[in-house]
Structure 1
Amino acid sequence: MADGDNSWARRRFLKGVGIAGLTAGLAGTGTATPGRQPGAKPDEVLVGVSATAEDVPSTVAQYVPGNAEIVHTNETLRYVAVQFPSEAADTARENFIEAVTAKDHVKYAETNATHEAFATPNDPQFGSQYAPEQVNAPTAWDTTFGDSSVTIAVVDTGAQYDHPDLADNYASDPGRDFVDSDADPYPDVPADEYHGTHVSGCAAAVVDNGTGVAGQGNSTLINGRALDENGSGSTADIADAIQWAADQGADVVNLSLGGGGYTETMKNAVSYATNNGALVVAAAGNNGSSSVSYPAAYSESMAVSAVDDAENLASFSQYGDAVELAAPGVDVLSTTTETRGSYEQLSGTSMATPVVSGVAGLTLAQWSLSNADLRNHLKSTAGDIGLPSTQQGSGQVDAAAAVTTEPGSGGGDGGDGGDDGGTGDSTTTSVNGSLSSYADYDDYSYGWTYDAPSQVVVELDGPADADFDLYLNTGTTANASPGDYDYASYTADSQETIVVDAPDDSTDLQIDVDSYSGSGSYTVTVTEYQ
């Protein structure tokens, strides 16, 4: 332990760069175009708009070339999708991205990347389940089978929510279809579109109902259909589904998908869900490489690797420093569409991820925890299975330990490399400030309370009519800034969260609150976990 005193040192500056004054929002409005195609949308560019702009589509519309059009708007995440003709050269989209990002109120522009479901299907095999037993779910069930007040959102392909082993755990309003833009997330082609049904069962196939298989606990399920029957989906559809899940009050958002690379739109959606209290659990990826795919690689996401029934890293599982937990993901028996026989074995980090999500839901049935505290509790109670921390993170998720160990009391054996999720102790401190204009920012130095903290969460709560951003530096005395930072969160509004695992505490934490545009008061909160 350190001396126990948090220290904040504030250094206030006025930016001296010559930036043109912001213009008022234009009066015109963009209109959505019906008939967007489902699945991948490679011809689209996503443009993010600052909260200080009066209107999202009209801010962008004036810069859209004549051969393109705005086809989609998300007012909550503050972005539009601009579609170019399929025959347009890549340079047309690239030129538009370069030009529009230089305009007032535009925070970013990027292609509408394609993401895939992370499953590696095998021929159907029916045998005994091993995943719940490997993560000690039966022992946890001696305490609780779960609680319907806890909601897990499966953002995936559609799901057969009337499956005999899922129906009792699916909400009466089972979800929304972002691929076909309707209110029914049922699979379009059940013979091909089974991934979301399998993921749903891994998390919460009904336990103790005398039917089929068991998930990890009886949480309520909802499905945001963002991947089509081919298992592909655009950044925009997935981001919209994540935002929708958060707005439904989901406690856990399961993302068994990825591969589209870093995108601001997806990061903003994950940040939105995190800021609204959801734990985002995401698949590390299936190409066997030594780095984790996005969205699992975002600091707000809990990245999950896959292990087999001998607790060895699956040959396909990606791994790396971003991995936080491991779970069974090889030949996992779960629900599938009835067209395919109702039950089948699949392999992938797609299967490991909902095991963690299901255990998270089971844990919330026993303990009232914030998403940050839940994340750390799952890590502190994880079981060391003898793999390097880059492969198992804090260890394999352990349902029994998570349910029976009182949060804050420790009790987990943790993983290799010293990242054991901490003892469960935490401390929180806040500082208030204000910024006067786009040219203003505040820098702070934060002195650590704990030696070698396991995690730090920094949150910015700013005005709704401004756009403030958050930047961090660790292991240096250099001030953080938009041009020099180790970690950043810069959504279109002033609600920002940064999560850093095992932060470098050799120097004070450097924090920068920066006004992209607008003015007002804010609060910065730092939660440090031992």
Structure 2
Amino acid sequence: MPEDSEHGWQRRGVLKGIGALGAAAGLAGVGSATPGRDPGPKEGEVLVGVSATADGVAATVEQYVPGNAELVHANETLRYVAVSFPEQASDAARQNFVEAVTQKDHVKYAEANATHEALATPNDPQFGDQYAPQQVNAPSAWDTTFGDSSVTIAVVDTGAQYDHPDLSGNYASDPGRDFVDADSDPYPDVPQDEYHATHVSGCAAAVVDNGTGVAGQGNSTLINGRALDENGSGSTADIADAIEWAADQGADVINLSLGGGGYTDTMKNAVSYATTNGALVVAAAGNDGSSSVSYPAAYSECVAVSAVDDSENLASFSQYGDSVELAAPGVDVLSTTTETRGSYERLSGTSMACPVVSGVAGLTLAQWDLSNSDLRSHLKNTAADIGLPDTQQGSGQVDAAAAVTTEPGSGDGGGGGDGGSGDSTSSSVSGTLDGYWDYDDYSYGWNYDSPSQVVIELDGPSDADFDLYVNTGTTANATPSDYDYGSYTTDSQESITIDSPDDSTAMQVDVDSYSGSGSYTVTITEYQ
């Protein structure tokens, strides 16, 4: 078959003509706020809009700013600047500036930086003492939806007090399973000491607008897989079993506010299983302050979350690195705790940031019907750039309002660090392996320049064990002994997610039969 396209698949040197399903081009990104600007009302500011005919947005206005004022913010995409006047400045002074500047060339308008109030304010009495929901714009998202009980978030953690007055309304009637004591009740053995999952549960989904305590990010259904004991420790096996259980329960989101132990195939297979079965796995980056993310967050299947404080600075304890995908509040976070400890308390850690992202993910699914892969991309596409390096914030701080109100794939995101435009394209290839000695190698040509993410999925026979291996940035075939990325669970359902893949060469994909035979399909989805 002739090579009639520079993109697509090649199998052992022969192009397979698999068409790509392209998405419509997205809109230009939204300009992000200047880091360091305080949130909330800015009643002393004037916004000045500048015509596209001007050479520069800030330069056009700056020459007209009076000496007692200053230009404090510029949005090059929406083409406006904010001019701040001192508190003692009179309304007349601001009005004089408005009237004068609107007479200048290229100035389209000038207006007060008006204050807007969220219409959906929860009646939870301690909501005003929280900052995490406000910082990720959950109240604005609640104008659209408070969440949906059909969306399930699994908390794999210590036992949770699921009958807590501020959690019971969102915990499932069958609240979970205990993998520590091997029974069907995940309630804490020692509520005074075992409180972590209760706090994590509240960060994600303490009941919103119930007149009690605090508010989580939205009203998703919670289930608890108790895999850690009252000391906060748990084995790889217990955690992996709990992850598998959560996936089998149909969890849409699985929260892993835990880490340590390094890479293990068991845990890798567990998160791969959960991902293949449709769950978004969200994991805490770790708390030792180092420049690499701990496992399980470091697995490609997991969304690694770093922690920031109420000033949107990286928490001193938060681990960071290239694997970080999103940031969220994780310092002095007020949430539910066991009633024996007083019902509410403030805790810090990436353990707290992680369920904020999980809760926003659940809230997003209440509005949009998304696969776990598309949800992951959507959260990143709509994240807010808070001015930190990509290694600290990933695509940015998760933004509930943007995630709920932005149509997936529109490209109209929140200006995050590396979330991409939201466009995607997919293509597939099918084949057959005859036995453990057999394999197929493919060379995949990229459809996008510098894709933000690529997801490679293998769907093979249920009675065989096929594995998936990938190389990038090289023309060398991937093999089970030489690969950059691998997924090799105990069945033939494999998935590999690569953020910001190396597209300097075609991607090399190897489908290998560990044992058994049958037909398979490999699907590759690129995100721009």
TM-score, structure 1 as length reference: 0.77
Any idea what SS the aligned residue of 1:233 has?
A: coil
User: What do you get for the CA RMSD once the two structures are aligned?
Assistant: 1.5
Q: CA deviation at 1:156?
A: 0.2
Q: CA deviation at 1:5?
A: 6.7
Counterpart of 1:316?
Answer: 317
Q: CA deviation at 1:518?
A: 1.1
2: CA distance, partners of 1:415 / 1:220: 28
Contact 2:297 2:304 in 1 (8 A): yes
Counterpart of 1:72?
Answer: none
Q: Quick check: 1:498 aligned with 2:496?
A: yes
TM-score, structure 2 as length reference: 0.77
1: CA distance, partners of 2:403 / 2:261: 32
Unaligned runs of 5+ in 2: 15-125
Any idea what SS the aligned residue of 2:187 has?
A: coil
1: CA distance, partners of 2:481 / 2:283: 29
Contact 2:485 2:496 in 1 (8 A): yes
Counterpart of 1:141?
Answer: 142
Contact 2:8 2:427 in 1 (8 A): no
Counterpart of 1:295?
Answer: 296
Alignment of 1:372-387 (within 5 A): 372-387=373-388
Q: CA deviation at 1:428?
A: 1.0
Counterpart of 1:231?
Answer: 232
1: CA distance, partners of 2:267 / 2:452: 26
Counterpart of 1:467?
Answer: 465
Counterpart of 1:218?
Answer: 219
2: CA distance, partners of 1:246 / 1:321: 27
Counterpart of 2:478?
Answer: 480
Unaligned runs of 5+ in 1: 14-124
Q: CA deviation at 1:516?
A: 1.1
Counterpart of 2:286?
Answer: 285
Alignment of 1:4-83 (within 5 A): 6-11=7-12
Any idea what SS the aligned residue of 1:483 has?
A: coil
2: CA distance, partners of 1:414 / 1:322: 19
2: CA distance, partners of 1:396 / 1:437: 47
Counterpart of 1:519?
Answer: 517
Contact 1:126 1:344 in 2 (8 A): no
Contact 1:12 1:443 in 2 (8 A): no
Contact 2:399 2:414 in 1 (8 A): no
1: CA distance, partners of 2:181 / 2:293: 30
Sort the Cα spacing of 1:126 and 1:260 in 2 relative to 1 into closer, same or farther, 3 A.
Answer: farther
Counterpart of 1:332?
Answer: 333
Sort the Cα spacing of 1:127 and 1:400 in 2 relative to 1 into closer, same or farther, 3 A.
Answer: closer
Note the alpha carbon deviations across 1:150-176, whole angstroms, 9 max, x for none: 000000000000000000000000000
Counterpart of 1:114?
Answer: none
Q: CA deviation at 1:201?
A: 0.1
Counterpart of 1:116?
Answer: none
Note the alpha carbon deviations across 1:472-521, whole angstroms, 9 max, x for none: 00011111111111100111111110000000111111000011111111
1: CA distance, partners of 2:414 / 2:483: 33
Counterpart of 1:509?
Answer: 507
Counterpart of 1:165?
Answer: 166
**What is the identity percentage for the equivalent residue pairs of Structure 1 and Structure 2?**
85
Counterpart of 2:200?
Answer: 199
Contact 1:4 1:449 in 2 (8 A): no
Sort the Cα spacing of 1:386 and 1:131 in 2 relative to 1 into closer, same or farther, 3 A.
Answer: same
* Letter of the structure 1 residue corresponding to residue 237 of structure 2: A
Counterpart of 2:77?
Answer: none
Q: CA deviation at 1:411?
A: 2.1
Counterpart of 1:62?
Answer: none
Counterpart of 1:181?
Answer: 182
Contact 1:185 1:224 in 2 (8 A): yes
Q: CA deviation at 1:413?
A: 3.9
Greater C-alpha radius of gyration = 2
Counterpart of 1:396?
Answer: 397
2: CA distance, partners of 1:308 / 1:405: 26
Any idea what SS the aligned residue of 2:133 has?
A: helix
Counterpart of 1:440?
Answer: 438
Q: CA deviation at 1:285?
A: 0.2
Runs of 4+ residues over 3 Å off in structure 1: 3-6, 413-416
Counterpart of 2:250?
Answer: 249
